[in-house]
Every structure is written in structure tokens, then in C-alpha cells.
Amino acid sequence: MQCPNCKDKDLVSVMTQQGVEVDFCPQCEGIWLDKDEIYHFTKIPTYLKSKIEEAVKLQKPSSRLSPFSGKPMVELPLLEGEINIDYCPESEGIWLDKDEINKLPVIKANVQIDTGIFSKEKVSISKILFPLPNLAFRSGMVLFGMYALLTLFLIILVELTKIPASLALIAGIIVATIHFLLGPFLMDLSLKFLFKMRWVGPADLPANLSNFINKVCNDNKIKFPRMGIILDGSPNAFTYGHHPNNARIVITQGLLDLLNEEESEAVIAHEIGHVVHWDMLIMTLAQLVPLILYYIYRTLIRIRSRGRDKSAPYRLLIAISAYILYIISEFIVLWFSRTREFFADRFSGEVTGNPNNLASALVKIGYGLAGDDTRKIDTKQKDRRDTLNAVEPMGIFDSKTAKILAVSGYAGPIKMGGAVDKEKLKDAAKWDLWNPWATYYELQSTHPLIAKRLKFLSNQSSVLGKEPYIEFNERKPESYWDDFLVDLVIKVLPFVAFIIGAALYFIKQETFLLGLGLFIFGSAYLMQILFSYPGFDFAQMNIKGLLKKIKVSAVRPVPCIIRGKIIGRGIPGLIFSEDFVMQDETGIIFLDYRQPLGVFNFLFGLLRAAKYINQDTEITGWYRRSPIPYIEIKKLKVGDKESTCFVYNVKLFFSVLVIIFGFLISMTILFK
């Protein structure tokens, strides 16, 4: 887009202090705001909206051309002519000259432009392959460290509780052996009875895929894996087994329908990478440590004391320690899993010779998991099951983070060979790469962040002399850690207040302190609600503008009004799914319908949700990201019909009730 003022100067995308990307002219320092983007910068958006609507009626011709359409804009006199802004009637975008945005009414803060971050400037991809750690060394160190920790814990357990060493050791070995030996067979049974699945031979696979698998297996001296196809529309692939020569690789029909031949081969190569690297065995061994620790925790908690059992306090202490170590070891296993995903991705890039095929497949799979039903899949195969989530550690994707990609890069129906809007993907990646909340959620995931996987694959493509799939500019305009820390404090505030209140009461067990504890907890909870459900003034927005917002989280939302069409349920095919997927002219997003009691969600999904499908809708709610971008519904309106969610109201009522109750208890005791 070209600057309306300088005419021959291109606009560049820059970040603002509010965490919103805008188009900026480096020469005259003017700003172009897309439709509804201006409301990110206002305290009272409805007031500014009313002033703009009044000014539209008084519009005058302008000599400036719209950066969007190239057609003449109009001038809008705001604040009784005190300021004139240029407005594009076709796109409803606004052009503001230097510093004009700070002269508008009820502006939240001075808008500071970070001119060092130009998303359209050429970003060079390194020609040196990003290093990955030595897989054998890291695997050995992780397994050695975890089992050394487990052994030390078992020794302490025996010494303090006087449980025979043989009992603790035998219990651990039995659990580990059963889990390892029976795991694949239990998965076989699960697939047989819970899924519409069939095992197939090489001749039953597409010829290109069969030949490709045969070649890769011969090159790596392993047997042709047992192949299974799940008749399910959700695109996915995963592997399991004991060792490389009895591996099973299972793919869904949705994956074959969505991807082209090269992309399908790249996904299968990723799964074979897990097989070649012995990930099935190594990840099983790693996962046994938290499993045994949890088994010990549950066993010790269930032992009942008899008579004067002096070991009871020690058992409780050991049980708590086992649970803490269980949580720590779970995070280690997740980190270990993410490391091995990078190796499987790189293996795929090496054997296919084109890492871009896997990158493209990952993007398209993200669309499929988001519920795009426009793909060429037989209607009977479109039902999707949450039970597929059980195989995510050895799968191609984490379904939760895949959905982020889907809503952020939507550019119309994605079919086999369809294109993806990479500029929107870059916008989505900014949250992945910049916001600390993305790292927080990654720590709880079996797979790395999407943007990181695409970055590594693009680097590998560059090293191989190919055009990178996507190029990210990772220079952050600010750290975002200050906002993250504030969000984190707000998130844990009620929990901390509850602990303080409980401690006050149990120290002396006085009624006054009970009331004081309730007052502290209610006040903290009220603060969290007021922060997490801001404002009675909801700004008119569009999905594209929301997805460009960096400073957003599950705790820090954006109050908004969105108009569009509901195109499906949150879980396609599930007749009682109460959530929705919504589309406007700029993208798609998930809608979270939530009532205080789960039974009302179920009844709404079963009895009423279908009536809203394919209807033009107005949604009032709070845009959040955790890490999936979604809008928590406050009010859903279709024509004259309205449906209101009361979670905010109930939370507010509960917090105020606790405050009043705690205050009354304290005052009653104090003045008694």
C-alpha cells in the first residue's frame, strides 16, 4: 500500500505501544488504520464510534487516494471541525497524519511507533543449519538423570517409611514392565474398538506413498511399518510400538484427503523419523518415571494408619514429595518430547529433500483440525473424535496449537493444493515468538510452538538451496514481560489470598480470622474479575484486527463486538458441542459459549446451538488467547433472538457475596 500523503512511498507494518500492528509511512509518519483498528486505542470506543458516524454524514471530498483501493477518500470533520481525518468508504479504513491519532478524543495513551520493526522489509534466513543437540547424548543424560532421581527417591522411601526395599523396587519394575510390554497392544485394542480403523498393506496405500515408505525404510535398514488408516475427517498421523521393527504408523483419511503427494510423504517421513530415532522406546522409558512416582504417591496416600503408627508423618511427607517430583518429571518429559519433534522434522526434510513440504503440511493440518469442512471428504467420514488427543506425543501435531494456525492464517476454504495467507501467518507468529504466555503454554505441550517448527524447517530449506517456506522478523519492539508478570499476578492472586486466609484461620482458629480470610479472598477474586472482564463499553472490531493484537492473554482480554456468520460447531460432528466457529470478511475465530453450570452448556449445545449455524450473528464478548485465539461470549444475537452467558455475573456476585459475608463475620465478632 502507498502513502496517501507521499504518494510514491510504500507503507510498512509497525508495532505500537498498545501491542497492535499498524501501517506507517517512515517519511511523513502518517498512520493507516484498517477497519475498526482505531478502537484499540480508545478508552470509550462507542463514544468515538458515534463521533465518526456523525462525521460520515458531513463528509467532504478529499484529494488523497486510499491505500486500500487506490480511489479518492473523503474528509471527516471530527470534534466540530477541530480535526479532519481521511476516510475510505469502501474499506472503512482511516488515514491519520503525524500525531493526529493523539489528538482524537479519549485516547488511551500516546501512541508510540516502533520504527525499527518493519515486517515487510527483507529478512534473511541463515544459510547455516540451526544446530540441534546430540540426540544420543541428550537422551542418555535425560534418562540417566531421571532414573537416578527415581532411585534416590526409592532409597529415601525405604529408609524413612521402613517399607521393604524389595517391595518398592518390585512395584516399580512391575508397573514399568506392564506399561512397556502391553502399551502397543492396548493401543491396538483401543484403535479397534474406539475408532473406525483398518490395517492395510503396502498395496492398499497410494502407490507414491508405498514406494516412498519402502525406500526410506530400506535406506535406514528397518522393516516396512504396519500401516493403519482411521476413517476420520480430522487430519492426523502418529506412531507407536516397541522398537523400529515392530512400529505401527497410523494416519487418518482426512490427512490423505487434505494433503498432496509430497506433503503426505513429508508427514510419513516425520513419523518414520520417530521410528528411526527409537523415540517409541525412549519416550516410553522417560514417561515411566512420572508414572512410577504417581503410583508411589497414590499408594502412600491410601495406606491407613493403625494404632501408634510413627511412620505416618513420614509417609505423608514422602507422598507430597513424590507428587512434586511427579510434576517436575512430567515437565521434563514434555521438554524431551519437544526436542525429539525437531529431530523428526529435520529427518523429514532430509529424506524428502524439501523441508517446505512438511511446513506446508503442518499449516494445512492446522486448518483441518480447526474444523474446515470444505475439504473433499466423504460426509460419513467427517466426524472427529477428541480421543485422537491421546496419541499426540507421537503425533504430527498438538491439536490445541494447530487450531491457532487455523484461525490466524485463514484465507478462505483450504483444499488440496490450496494457498495459505502467509502474511496472516506472520501476524499470528508474532504472538508465538514475542508474548511470554506462548512459552508458558509451550511448556505444557508435547510439541514445540508452530512458529518455531516453521522457522527451523525454513532454515533447513535455505541450507538446501531452496526458497524458505516463510520468513519471520523476530525483532521485538518491547519485551512484553511487564504485561506478562502483571497477568501472572492477577491469575494467582485469588489462590494466594485463599492460602493466606486459610493460614490465618488455622493458626489460631478464631472466627474473626475466618471472616478476615474470607474478606481477603473475596477482594482478590473481585480484583481478578474486574481485570479479566474489563469494561461495559465493547468496541466494534473485526477478526483480523483482533488476531494482530500482541498484548492479549486468557487473563488480559479485549472487549469487542464482532459481526459475522457462525459456520459450524466448536467440535464438528458433536451434536452437543456448545461452542462455535465464526467467520467475518477478515477471518475465522472460535467462540466460547460458557454458563456457570456445565449442564446448561450441554443443554444449549443439544437443543439450541444448531439454530445458530449459518446465521448472521453479532457477538459481544471478550477476545482471549490461551494459546488458541477465541472470544468468550457475553451475548449472542441473531435477529431478534438473544442468548446471554452469565459467567461474569455469577463470578461478580460470588466475589461480592464472599466479601460481604467475611466482613459481617469479622464485624460481628469484633463488636460482640
Q: How far is CA 1 from CA 4, 63, 113, 453, 472, in A?
A: 9, 17, 18, 30, 20
| Residue 133 cell numbers, joined | 543437540
What's the rounded Cα separation, in Å, for the pair 420 and 246? 37
Closest CA to 569 of 406, 425, 390, 372: 372
| Residue 662 cell numbers, joined | 467475611
What's the rounded Cα separation, in Å, for the pair 175 and 291? 8
Are the CB atoms for 150 and 480 separated by under 8 Å?
Answer: no
Closest CA to 414 of 426, 400, 402: 402
Reply yes or no on whether 271 is catalytic: yes
What's the rounded Cα separation, in Å, for the pair 220 and 609? 51
CA 390 and chain centroid, separation = 17
583: exposed, middle or buried (Cβ count in 10 Å: 0-12, 13-18, 19+): middle
Task: For residue 397, give the amino acid letter.
Answer: F
Are the CB atoms for 179 and 288 separated by under 8 Å?
Answer: yes
Closest CA to 262 of 346, 361, 341: 361
What's the rounded Cα separation, in Å, for the pair 101 and 78? 12
Catalytic residue among 265, 271, 341, 392: 271
Closest CA to 59 of 84, 37, 34, 94: 84
Contacts of 385 (CB under 8 A, 6+ apart): 194, 195, 232, 234
Enclosing H/E stretch for 165: helix 165-194
Are the CB atoms for 335 and 445 separated by under 8 Å?
Answer: no
Enclosing H/E stretch for 168: helix 165-194
How many other β-carbons are positioned within 10 Å of the β-carbon of residue 58?
Answer: 13
What's the rounded Cα separation, in Å, for the pair 56 and 62? 13
3-state secondary structure string across 303-349: CCCCCCCCCHHHHHHHHHHHHHHHHHHHHHHHHHHHHHHHHHHHHHH
Are the CB atoms for 579 and 542 separated by under 8 Å?
Answer: no
| Residue 603 cell numbers, joined | 443443554
| Residue 627 cell numbers, joined | 494459546
Task: Give the β-pairing of 226-230 and 237-240.
Answer: unpaired
Active site residues: 271
